[in-house]
Amino acid sequence: MRIILIGLIGLFSVLAAKGQENETVFDSTQYRSRSAVIISKDTLFYLYDKINGISARERATLVNQRLQNIIASPTFVADSIMVEDLLDYSRITYKRELLVNITVNDAKWYGSPPSKTAADYHEKLVSKCGEVNSQRSLKDLLIQIGLSLLVLVIAIFIVKYVNRLFRWLAVKLHDQKGKKVKAFKIKDYEIMDENRSLSILQIALKAMRILLLLIVLYFTLPIILKIFPWTEGLADKLFGFVLDPVRAIMHAFIDYIPNLFTILVIVVIMRYITKGVSFMANEVQQGKLKISGFYPDWAVPTSRLINFILYVFMLVLVWPYLPGSDSAIFQGVSVFLGLLISMGSTSAISNIVSGLVITYMRPFKVGDRVRIGEVSGDIMEKTLLVTRIRTIKNEIITVPNSNILTGSTINYSVSSEQSAGLIIHTGITIGYDVPWRKVHEMLIEAASKTPHIEQTPAPFVLQTSLDDFYVAYQINAYTNVPSSQAMIYSDLHALIQDIFAKNGVEIMSPHYRAMREGPDTTPPVNGSIKTEAVKQQEEAAKERAEAAKTNEQKPDDGAPTESE
C-alpha cells in the first residue's frame, strides 16, 4: 500500500512538472511577440494580442501616438481617462475616445482577467500622464514661442535675400541683351528677336522667384506648428499635402524602374535592327549589293516599309509596360483615337496602298517624262500619298496615287531606255499631184536635220490613209531625249515647212484648188525661197503695170482736150 502511494505521488510530480514546462513555453512565446507602451521613455505595460489583423507592434504604436496627443493638449485632464469593462475584453478611453483595448490574451500574461489588468493599466496611465502634463510649464511655452520667432525671422531673412538675389539677376539679364541674350533662330528662320527673348527670360525669372517664395512660406507655417505639441498633428497634415504626393511619385518611379529598363532594352534592340535594315537598303540602292530580281529603286521604300512594321511591332511590345496602359481611361482614349483615324483616313490609306503598289510596279521613277491622264511632264517627287509632276510650262501638278493606279500611264523615258529610242511622229496631207516618193524624201530630210533626232535607226515615213483629194503621210523618227519632245516637234514642223516650200510643194489639202486666184503655191512670208512659177507671175504682173503706165502717158485721139 505504501508502495502504491509513493508511485501515485511520483506520477503527480511528473505531471505537475510537465504542466509547468508547457506554461513556460507559452509565456516565452508570448514574450517574444509583445510590444511596449511608452511615455517619456518609461515603459508602462506591454500588449501581446493581435486584434482584427493589427499586430501587437502596430497596436502599441497607435496607443503611443494617442497618448502623446492627449498629453500635449493644453486642456488635458488626467481624471478623464476611464476604464470600460465589456463582455470579453476591457478598454481604456479618454473623453470617450479609445486609447487601448485589453483582451484575454493581453491579460493572460499577468494571470488576471481583462478587467483587473485594465484597472492596473489605468492607474499607471493616470499617474504617468498627469506627471508628464504637469512638467509642461511656462518655461517650455516660452521656449516654443522663442523657437517659433526664430523660424519666422529666418523665413523673413530668406524672403528678403531671395528678392534681392532675383533683382540682381534681372539687372544682369538686362545687361546681357545683345550679348548672350540674342535672337532665337533655327537656320535662317528667326523665331524670336532679342526683345522677345529677353521678355520671356524675365517672365521665367519672375515665375521662379514667386515659386521659391511660396515654397518658403508654405514650409514655414508647418515648421512653426510643429514646435507646439497641440498643433503638431496639423503640421503633419500640412507636410503631408506636399510630401505624400512626392513620396508616392518616388515610390511609383522606383517600382517602375524594371519596366523602364525593359522598354529601354526593346527600343535599343529595335533601333539597331532598323539601322541594319537601312544600311542594307543603302548598299542595294548604290549597287554594292545585288539581289536577283530586286531592283535598286525598291531598296528605300522597302526599307521604310520594313522599319514601319518593326516600329509597330516595338509599340506592341512596349505597350503593356507603359504606365497606366491597363487603365480604363487609357484604353478608352486609345479606342477613340483609333476610331478617328479609321474614319478620317479612308482616302489616305487608299493612296498609301496605291503608292506601295506603284512602287513595286515600277511604272516610272523620279526624272522620267510621263503622261498620266491629261497631265504630261517630268516626275519630280514620288511619295506614298501623291506623285508630283512638272509640266513643260513649269507647272507643278499633284496627282493622288489612287488616280494613277486606276488610270493609264505613258512613260516616254522608259521607251527610250529599253529600245532604240522614243519615236517622234507627226502627220501631213499632200495632194495626189505630188509624187509620194518625193514627199517621203522631203519628210525624211526634215527629220534628219531636226536636233535630237537619231540618224540610226533612220527616220521613216508611213502612208496612213488615201483619201479622196490627198494622201496622209506620217514621219517617224527616233530620239533619246524624251524630255525635249515639245522643242523637237516644233523644230520638225518648222523644217518640214521650209523644205516643202523650197521644193515648191504646198502643205495643204487641195479641196478648193480651182477657187483660188494667184500663184499655185503659197510663197514663204519672208520671200527667201521663190519657185519658177512665182517668178513668172511676178514678171507678168510687172509687165502689166508698165503697160498700164505707158497707156496713161499716150492721149486718146478721139478724146476731147482741155482747150477744146
Mean pLDDT is lowest, of 107-121, 215-229, 542-556, for 542-556
For residue 476, what pLDDT is reported?
A: 96
Q: 376: helix, coil or strand? A: strand
Residue with cell string 514546462: 21
For residue 20, what pLDDT is reported?
A: 37
What is the tens place of the pLDDT at every residue in 428-487? 999 888 999 999 999 999 999 999 999 888 999 999 999 888 999 999 999 988 888 889
- The answer to whether residue 13 sits within a structural domain is no
What cell numbers appear for 326 in the block? 491597363
- The answer to whether residue 323 sits within a structural domain is no
Number of structural domains the chain divides into: 4
- The answer to whether residue 554 sits within a structural domain is no
What is the tens place of the pLDDT at every residue in 291-321? 887 878 788 888 888 898 899 899 888 888 8
In this structure, the answer to whether residues 460 and 410 fall within a common structural domain is no
Judge whether residue 15 has pLDDT over 80: no
- The answer to whether residue 149 sits within a structural domain is yes
In this structure, the answer to whether residues 390 and 447 fall within a common structural domain is no
In this structure, the answer to whether residues 410 and 432 fall within a common structural domain is no
Judge whether residue 495 has pLDDT over 90: yes
What CA–CA distances, in Å, run from 553 to 542, 550, 557? 17, 5, 13
Judge whether residue 22 has pLDDT over 90: no
- The answer to whether residue 288 sits within a structural domain is no
Which residues form the domain of 125? Answer: 31-136
- The answer to whether residue 332 sits within a structural domain is no
In this structure, the answer to whether residues 157 and 217 fall within a common structural domain is yes
Domain holding 481: CATH number?
3.30.70.100
CA angle centred on 379, ends 378 and 380, rounded to 5°: 110
- The answer to whether residue 243 sits within a structural domain is no
Q: Are 450 and 492 in contact (CB under 8 A)?
A: yes
User: 55-92: string of b/e by CB count within 10 Å (b at 16+)?
Assistant: ebeebbebbbebbbbbbbeeebebeebebeeeeebbbb
In this structure, the answer to whether residues 128 and 151 fall within a common structural domain is no
The last residue of one of the domains, among 227, 257, 280, is 227
In this structure, the answer to whether residues 387 and 426 fall within a common structural domain is no
Residues 6+ apart with CB under 8 A from 452: 479, 480, 481, 484, 487, 488
Q: How many Cβ atoms are within 10 Å of 432's Cβ, its own excluded? A: 13
- Cα–Cα dist 30/109, whole Å: 8
For residue 406, what pLDDT is reported?
A: 85
If you ran DSSP here, which 8-state letter would residue 522 be given? -
In this structure, the answer to whether residues 81 and 110 fall within a common structural domain is yes
Q: 130: helix, coil or strand? A: helix
CA angle centred on 153, ends 150 and 154, rounded to 5°: 85
More confident residue, 53 or 74: 53
What CA–CA distances, in Å, run from 231 to 69, 220, 334? 9, 14, 48
For residue 136, what pLDDT is reported?
A: 62
For residue 261, what pLDDT is reported?
A: 92
Domain holding 375: CATH number?
2.30.30.60
pLDDT band at 529 (very low <50, low <70, confident <90, very high): very low
The last residue of one of the domains, among 178, 212, 227, is 227
Q: Which of 47, 58, 53 is nearest to 92 (CA)?
A: 47
Judge whether residue 554 has pLDDT over 70: no
Q: 464: helix, coil or strand? A: strand
In this structure, the answer to whether residues 361 and 411 fall within a common structural domain is yes
Q: Which of 209, 197, 207, 215 is nearest to 168 (CA)?
A: 209
The sign of the dihedral angle between the CA atoms of 186, 187, 190, 196 is positive
Start-to-end Cα distance in the chain: 215
- The answer to whether residue 359 sits within a structural domain is yes
In this structure, the answer to whether residues 80 and 155 fall within a common structural domain is no
- Cα–Cα dist 371/377, whole Å: 7
Average pLDDT over residues 401-412: 86
Best mean pLDDT range from 108-122, 260-274, 325-339: 260-274
In this structure, the answer to whether residues 119 and 183 fall within a common structural domain is no
pLDDT band at 35 (very low <50, low <70, confident <90, very high): confident
Q: Are 360 and 474 in contact (CB under 8 A)?
A: no
For residue 21, what pLDDT is reported?
A: 36
The last residue of one of the domains, among 136, 170, 197, is 136
- Cα–Cα dist 507/363, whole Å: 39
In this structure, the answer to whether residues 126 and 144 fall within a common structural domain is no
Q: How many Cβ atoms are within 10 Å of 422's Cβ, its own excluded? A: 23
In this structure, the answer to whether residues 216 and 127 fall within a common structural domain is no
What is the overall mean pLDDT for the chain? 78
Give, for 372, the enclosing helix (H) or strand (E).
strand 369-372
Q: How many Cβ atoms are within 10 Å of 379's Cβ, its own excluded? A: 20
What cell numbers appear for 5 in the block? 502511494
For residue 499, what pLDDT is reported?
A: 94
